[in-house]
Structure 1
């Protein structure tokens, strides 16, 4: 049993890490192609983002490996593979349920991370990316990564979900995490600034969070931001200031960030 759990966790860690490198790498390359020079002078920051993200991959991989092993070997979870096990309408409903539950958890833990004690010790790692890049999606302090790593693994023990829908949830989580940090808006203006955009989070919404800190805490939806009065609308994308690599190395990462309060 122990060997199986360890091997499964290692396998999932590799999958999460490779998924991150491929997804972030593709969007970073797209950014560089569309906006030549945008990442100029940011190599030290990108290296930090990749290092923290690969550490986060191990933290995400451990519970994911336990879930994968428990599902295949013990039937512990409520993941199902036969479409006939539940009505077809349950597939989109379960997708929405997972995204809403994940978004709720993220909103409240994210707000907590912006309290001074938590920000200084954990969340400043993520906000050290100024401006964030496509590599920053998983750039978290290990304790913060742990708060995000347990959500989906816990939900599969509670809410039934088809394995394909679970894969879609993970895909949405990965893609939105990357695209919300890449410094430009990939979605059309008619969506971002239209009625749908008032409820969905894209890079324009999350960019303002990285600029002002105490607003726009959501992950997928603007629901909790609207309900709690923390929605400040959409941000604008400013070209990053050129950095000198040697100057950047002289300044410790944690020391450059203020500790905003909620």
Structure 2
């Protein structure tokens, strides 16, 4: 098969995968929310419809660099993705997962702060913050400019840093689950984790929800490292329905 048709087919396939993944995961957590907190998303039908439209558009943007990376791996061997677990020391597998997550988190933190500059916020990032309060469908609700900044990071890393295919799937799983659960409006994780030692460094819905309420704080994605280092961490937030949720965290 000629390179260009194969590349386009790979981009299309990855777009369908990203879009399908979004619908399944966000839809699943939306159903869980409806069971856990009936009526929590009441009155937000129009917002959810908008979140789904923006997210499916973002899926197409994410699909292009992902498709290029997948084609480069399979057809040209250009990437650093490997399938032989013995190609690198076993300890590299968990370390590579942490490294990818840290680098992704670092990219996200700084581009996210950049998106909060007044002009960029009005042009692009406002789309994401129009979800007030966010729902499980808001994880990929981005303007195309913002979607592009998020779409390039993991595909770029696979060209630079060796990672086992299974470890890459683990990174994508964490990225998908945390992206959805951090927006769904309630805390899925137990209080002992959120308010314990691990919670001082990991971001969950309690932390990210405060960003959506106050804007100028809590910019991270997975870890609170950059927020704490740069003085932008304002701690855990309170959900709008905190009085009904015994696990909701307070600042």
TM-score range, shorter chain: over 0.9
**How many equivalent residue pairs?**
240
Aligned to 2:241: 239
- Partners of 2:173 and 2:230 in 1: how far apart? 28
Within 5 Å, which residues of 2 pair with 1:112-261?
A: 112-239=114-241
Within 5 Å, which residues of 2 pair with 1:30-109?
A: 30-109=32-111
Give the deviation of 1:52 after TM superposition. Answer: 0.1
Question: What SS does structure 2 have at the residue aligned with 1:136?
Answer: coil
Structure with more relative contact order (C-alpha pairs < 8 Å, separation 6 or more): 1
- Partners of 1:67 and 1:37 in 2: how far apart? 41
- Partners of 2:90 and 2:221 in 1: how far apart? 27
TM-score in terms of structure 2 length: 0.95
What are the superposed Cα offsets for residues 92-123 of structure 1, whole Å, 9 maximum, x if unpaired? 11001000000000000000001101100000
- Partners of 1:49 and 1:193 in 2: how far apart? 30
Structure 1: gaps (5+ residues): 241-262
- Partners of 2:186 and 2:39 in 1: how far apart? 14
- Partners of 1:178 and 1:211 in 2: how far apart? 17
TM-score in terms of structure 1 length: 0.91
Question: What SS does structure 1 have at the residue aligned with 2:137?
Answer: helix
What are the superposed Cα offsets for residues 134-170 of structure 1, whole Å, 9 maximum, x if unpaired? 0000000001000000000000011100000000000
- Partners of 2:235 and 2:117 in 1: how far apart? 21
Structure 2: gaps (5+ residues): 243-251
Query: After the TM superposition, which segments of 4 or more aligned residues of structure 1 sit over 3 Å from their partners?
Result: none
Mapped pair 1:29 → 2:50: no
Aligned to 2:249: none
Give the deviation of 1:86 after TM superposition. Answer: 0.4
- Partners of 1:164 and 1:76 in 2: how far apart? 18
